[in-house]
Amino acid sequence: MFAEDAQPLAAPHEALIRVEAFAPNRGETFLLEDPRPGVVPGKDVAGLVVQAAADGSGPPVGARVVGHPPSGGWAEYAAVPTHSLAVLPDDISAVRAAALPLAGITALRLLRVAGAVTGRRVLLTGASGGVGHYLTELAAAAGADLTAVTATAARGERLRERGAAAVVHAVADAPGPFDLVFESTGGADLPVALSKLVPGGTLIWFGQASRAPVTLNFFDILAGPQRAVIRHFHYAGAPYGEDLNTLVRLVGDGRLHPEIDRVADWSQTAEVLVDLRERRIRGKAVLTTGGVR
């Protein structure tokens, strides 16, 4: 359902972007259960600068950019802080760029938190989403021996191409032990993933895709890997421009490949959101507003 709203007023440190493509994230669909009045969702956008920031920062009018605003991206125009923009080269389309921000930034920052992964055995749950594809490719390129967990073979078919050493369809089937676990599903999967660690191994918990509570039994942990570490991770924290520039450079160099399962006109937003929520989309979905370059 579309609604008319006034064009956003950009703050002095923000550029006004004519949005050509945006990528909804599954977590954003849950915001619609109890929407805040006046708040337009949307964190992943790509388009054209039509009004430069008044404080002189950021790209000029006419620049093609990808951005990660706090909200407001599901619209024809979005005001984006200039510290969270990156200029696009001509060979990266708005569609590919829009698939980068939240998922790509999350993958980059997860790897920074994890430290060196070269030669380490890594388990990644919930691997068939946007973050999972980026994290698989980046970790494999850094030398990790990564096992990806996906619900079905169809959802995980591209992960081997992106560098996964193995793909399994249940955490229990993952042939551990692992030095590091990236855990994003929660529910019953997290305790099983935790049990797969080597002594002194680390589990980084960055999502709750199952939306099911996690129960940890102290005695199970006591009987499991000694000195296991559980770390909570949340990607958020502006500025995002440096990470966006890194992602754009990696895509341009052919070292990172956005996995875009669906591209649709934004008139199909409702259908795409339902499929995203029900996990019927592999990787990312991108919606276009017309006039995409």
| pLDDT at 293 (0 to 100) | 54
Same domain, 94 and 119: no
- Decide if 24 is inside a domain: yes
- Decide if 174 is inside a domain: yes
Identify the H or E element spanning 109.
helix 101-114
| pLDDT at 62 (0 to 100) | 98
Where b means 16+ CB within 10 Å and e means fewer, 187-222 reads eebbbbbbbbbbeebbbbbbbbbbeeebeeeeeeee
SS3 call for 197 = strand
For the entire predicted model, the pTM comes to 0.94
Rounded average pLDDT over 25-42:
84
Calpha distance 104→4 (Å, rounded): 31
Q: On the CB side of 160, how many CA atoms lie within 13 Å of its CA?
A: 8
Same domain, 112 and 78: no
Same domain, 37 and 94: yes
Rounded average pLDDT over 212-227:
90
CATH number at residue 264: 3.90.180.10
**What confidence tier does 157 reach under pLDDT thresholds 50, 70, 90?**
confident
Same domain, 284 and 219: no
Range of the domain at 68: 14-100+258-288
Query: What is the tens place of the pLDDT at every residue in 87-116?
Result: 999 999 999 999 999 999 999 999 999 999
Same domain, 55 and 141: no
Is residue 6 within 8 Å of residue 71, measured between CB atoms?
no
- Decide if 237 is inside a domain: no
Same domain, 94 and 110: no
Helices H, strands E: what count in the chain?
A: 8, 13
**What confidence tier does 2 reach under pLDDT thresholds 50, 70, 90?**
low
User: Does 35 have pLDDT greater than 80?
Assistant: no
Same domain, 18 and 83: yes
Q: Which of 282, 277, 279 is nearest to 29 (CA)?
A: 277
Rounded average pLDDT over 42-46:
97
- Decide if 252 is inside a domain: no
| pLDDT at 1 (0 to 100) | 54
Same domain, 113 and 89: no
Average pLDDT score over the chain:
94
CATH number at residue 194: 3.40.50.720
Q: Domain count for the chain, please give it.
A: 2
Calpha distance 41→73 (Å, rounded): 6
- Decide if 219 is inside a domain: yes
Same domain, 25 and 95: yes
Query: What is the tens place of the pLDDT at every residue in 163-218?
Result: 999 999 999 999 989 999 999 999 999 999 999 999 999 999 999 888 899 999 99
Rounded average pLDDT over 43-55:
98
- Decide if 32 is inside a domain: yes
